[in-house]
Amino acid sequence: MMTQEYDVFICHRGETKRNFVSVLGGMLRSKGITCFVDYRMPIGNDVDLEIKGAIEKSKVFIVVLSLHFAQSTWCLDEIIDIMKIRDRMGTSRKVIPVFYDVEREMVRQQEKDTLYDLTKVKRSDAEKIGRWGKALKDVCELDKFDYKSSSMLQWEESEKIVAKVEDFLILHRIIPDQGTKMPIWRECVNYDVFICHWHEDTQRNVVSVLRGMLLCKSITPFVGGYGKEDGGSALDSDIIQAIENSRVHVIFLSPNFVRSKRCLEEVFRIMKIQGSPGTSDASRKPTVVPIFYDTEPSTVRYQQKGKTYYLDEVQESSTGEKRKEWAIAIRDLSLLHGLEYDSRSTYQWEKLYDVVKIVEASAKKITPRNYWSKHEALYVKKIDEVFKELELQEKREHVFLVGVYGRETSEFCDLLVQRLGSNFCGVCKLNNIMEKACQPNGISKIAQQMLSDLIHPSKSSDLIQPSTSNDVKRCQLLLENERCLVVLDDLGNDIDKIKTLLEDLKSILRNNSLVVVASQFQHTLQELNVHKFINLSSLENKRDFLNICYTERDGIHEAFLSQLNETFDMHGLDVRLLNEDKLMSDSTCLQDAKVILCVISKSFRLGEFKRMCTNAAIPSKIVYYVSYGSYPTDESMPKSVFKMEVDFEKAEFNKKQFKSMVNEVVQTLNERSEEIMGAIDFPVDLVRRSSHIERSIRDCVLRSENSVQCFGLVGMGGIGKTTLARSIFNKLHSQFERSFFSLNTRAGVAEVKAKGTSGLVDVQKRIIAKLLNNRSDDAEIYNEEQGKMVLSSKVKHINALIVFDDVDDGRHLEAFCEPLQSSLGPKSIIIITTRDRSIVESAVIFDIEGLDKEMSKRLFYWHAFMKPKPPADLEKVSQSVIEACQGLPLSLRKSHKVSLKRVKGFHYP
């Protein structure tokens, strides 16, 4: 059996597997870097062959040298193999040693009676000791990372290692350079999550990692005293404000938690909010997530004498009244359903990923913006319908099965649990079902977790998993008097494994229980014969508009407004340009706007805009301001002003500031983190050209809904096919279950082929990974023909948008398009860009033409001068260059670098 190729191999001892290695591997995978760690090997594989094969085919090796590393012959043998491959001629490999709670000198010296005394290793001889010792010494000579678990923040230190890996892989073109996102500063008043913890127990490890994972999801956490030795000051106004304004409260109940008065006071205030009568609807209150970290829930609940949570002992200096308040709050907290975390056996990344999913759903759900309240109102209506139908089914069904389909199933499922959970004796909500099902013994673990949540603790000693008919009967007995709610979110595409689990559930549950299964794939739910089907896509509102407000009195250059429109349109946003007259005649034109971009100019000041919009419900909107032109002002400008002095007579256009503004607006409108292909600098005539193709594609799909539709964008190199494909992708992809964009297919296939592997197979693997949302299916593909079969079987019935950019070989279509056309859902679209018309002769073809004279001028001027018109002395030479480019966008963007550098006195912007 051939071994899969990996980007990174992590060599480690078991003592770092569940914490440091689990997180490091998760961080790498989250960046699309394939990573081998031994505990993720498929059950039944030959361990020795699997490890040796992974070492042979990995590009980067992270060697985690921990205290007991040298006591494992497996680890020592791995080091020998790693260093041999590193020293092999003609290979580009990198070894990164991490000294985890050990000093480099101990590893290098290998002195007697130390933990790195190799003579103490079992099953060793002089020859092995010599080879092990040399390999360890060679590793010590490399650039290294020191990691001290007692003093360093785990996420921040791991980020440094991941960055080093990324730099190497990008340098050697093993992974593409995704570029860096421009950091956006926001004055944070309302945090999404408040993390309550005792810093000595959890801040450097789980809290550090959870904080980093949340920030990667654009979720803002508040962590008091983060990075400070003493964990920060006592309870202050900032902490109180963060508790009151956060949407989610995550509380790490660790062994020494109650030794901190601040932690106890934080819990008291959190639980006070939960018990406040001011909010009658529980779904509007912040979500509380207690995590019992190395602590039994019963210890927290009962606070018995002699135990770590006995407040009379650990807080004896506090008043009796205060201890009583804290004790009640802690007990009430322990009665909430939470997560148990045993650091000795829990894989840190995997467990915290579950926490992030809970937080992500809750952070989206509870928000003060009207945008979400509309969704909630529609969701609540559907949820109430479900419960009404459930009650009507009482005499006919033991279990009522509901299927939920859409892109935001997590939000819906979380709201359903909060709204209906109190009507059931047992409640279980599990996320990422398909990912968990594909893990070793995945279905058994899901069943075990389900029953653990549903079966009362008094019966926990009887807990089993239903693997035989007798086990099913036993579970029926345990739940015979219980009415249960089970929610299984994200079923994925292949549900054969899940069907058995659902059949067992139907056999076990009684008393009009409710089972909700959710998926982004509609066909998945249709195979399950659900009693009720809910299509969330039909409830979602139309895409939010970006409204750009301005005045025509100050001569704002039409090219600047056009550039705003073109740039945001390429990002997939719907843009409306509203001048002052429109705003004055219809103050309601902004009421459906989520984001407003106001161009402040000499005659259109901040105060005037606010007065004009008094009746447009603007306070609930997000308003950004761009300052156009240099003019004196005594107004107090908000922090969201982008101070761009756009005055083409006096200064060049500030491209960096413009990009910063665009990034922030796009991110604000893209709260659901949908995939967006990057925009080019200064798109010109893109709205007109892409809109025409987009409308034509929609019309073709509407006329034929029974098969996958293929479209070809055909034109010479540099004509703008890729730019148009990006723009169309950004506008359409959110309407599909999955999407995939293969950029520069021709070059990518050739590049991978030059390394000795099949470029076509590489693209086939990427298609599967993207359409299945990077699940752990890990389809093994060894050649193109097998890849076609795997594609056909793995992505069946998924409605997807696929773009293959720059295809020049019919074999590419045979390897990708043919299996996709035979397997994807009937509403799928495949777009191909190519220079060769014959390749797409069976598709609907759009011939891409060059720019006309006026648009050619605009594109050239923007790139050459950062202005919509040239300096007077360069107009003639510019015209000759533009004519020579014959409307070819790529030439217009690049030619000025050659043509104008000969002009005396000219300097590039």
Q: Tens of pLDDT along 692-724?
A: 888 888 887 777 667 788 999 999 988 989 999
Between residues 80 and 489, the one the model is more confident about: 80
428-470 confidence digits (pLDDT tens): 888 888 777 777 787 888 888 888 778 754 444 444 455 544 4
Q: What is the pLDDT of residue 604?
A: 82
3-state secondary structure of 142: coil
Side chain identity at residue 95, one-letter code: V
Q: What is the pLDDT of residue 585?
A: 75
Question: Tokens 């033409």 sit at which residue?
Answer: 849
* Rounded distance between C-alpha atoms, residue 422 and residue 403, angstroms: 21
Task: Find the helix or strand (DSSP H, E) in which 49 lies.
Answer: helix 47-57
Mean model confidence pLDDT for the chain: 82
pLDDT grade for 336, boundaries at 50, 70 and 90: very high
- Centre a 10 Å sphere on the Cβ of residue 735 and count the other Cβ atoms it contains: 15
Contact of 684 with 858, CB cutoff 8 Å: yes
Half-sphere exposure of 331 (CA within 13 A, CB side): 11
3-state SS of 145-186 is EEECCCCCCHHHHHHHHHHHHHHHHHHCCCCCCCCCCCCCCC
Least confident range from 585-599, 610-624, 677-691: namely: 610-624
Least confident range from 62-76, 341-355, 539-553, 739-753: namely: 539-553
Q: What is the pLDDT of residue 617?
A: 46
What phi, psi does 642 have (nearest 5°)?
-100, 110
- Centre a 10 Å sphere on the Cβ of residue 789 and count the other Cβ atoms it contains: 11
Asked if residue 150 has pLDDT above 50, the reply is yes
Which candidate, 645, 595, 582, 603, places its Cα nearest to that of 624?
Answer: 595
Q: What is the pLDDT of residue 1?
A: 46
3-state secondary structure of 243: helix
End-to-end CA separation in angstroms for the chain:
57
Half-sphere exposure of 142 (CA within 13 A, CB side): 21
Edge-to-edge strand list for the sheet holding 844-847: 738-742, 800-804, 829-834, 709-714, 844-847
382-406 confidence digits (pLDDT tens): 888 888 887 776 555 688 889 988 8
Q: What is the pLDDT of residue 897?
A: 56
Q: What is the mean pLDDT of residues 127-145?
A: 95
- Centre a 10 Å sphere on the Cβ of residue 90 and count the other Cβ atoms it contains: 4
Q: What is the pLDDT of residue 463?
A: 46
Task: Name the DSSP class of 257.
Answer: G
- Centre a 10 Å sphere on the Cβ of residue 135 and count the other Cβ atoms it contains: 20
Q: What is the mean pLDDT of residues 763-771?
A: 85
Contact of 582 with 547, CB cutoff 8 Å: no
pLDDT grade for 155, boundaries at 50, 70 and 90: very high
3-state SS of 673-712 is CCCCCCCCCCCCCHHHHHHHHHHHHHHHHHHCCCCCEEEE
3-state secondary structure of 620: helix
Q: What is the pLDDT of residue 367?
A: 40
Tokens of 373: 């309240």
Residue 551 CA: distances (Å) to CA of 274, 558, 901: 48, 11, 38
Q: Give me the percent of the chain exceeding a pLDDT of 70.
A: 83
Question: Tokens 């006592």 sit at which residue?
Answer: 234
224-277 confidence digits (pLDDT tens): 888 887 766 578 888 998 998 898 999 999 999 999 999 999 999 999 998 865
- Centre a 10 Å sphere on the Cβ of residue 865 and count the other Cβ atoms it contains: 21
Q: Are strands 595-600 and 545-550 parallel, antiparallel or unpaired?
A: parallel
Between residues 229 and 92, the one the model is more confident about: 92
pLDDT grade for 196, boundaries at 50, 70 and 90: very high
Contact of 8 with 82, CB cutoff 8 Å: no
What phi, psi does 137 have (nearest 5°)?
-65, -40
Q: What is the pLDDT of residue 458?
A: 42
Q: What is the pLDDT of residue 328?
A: 95
Asked if residue 141 has pLDDT above 50, the reply is yes
pTM beyond 0.85 = no
Contact of 154 with 208, CB cutoff 8 Å: yes
pLDDT grade for 675, boundaries at 50, 70 and 90: low
Q: What is the pLDDT of residue 58?
A: 92
pLDDT grade for 637, boundaries at 50, 70 and 90: low
291-313 confidence digits (pLDDT tens): 999 999 999 999 999 999 999 88
Asked if residue 889 has pLDDT above 80, the reply is yes
Q: What is the pLDDT of residue 643?
A: 60
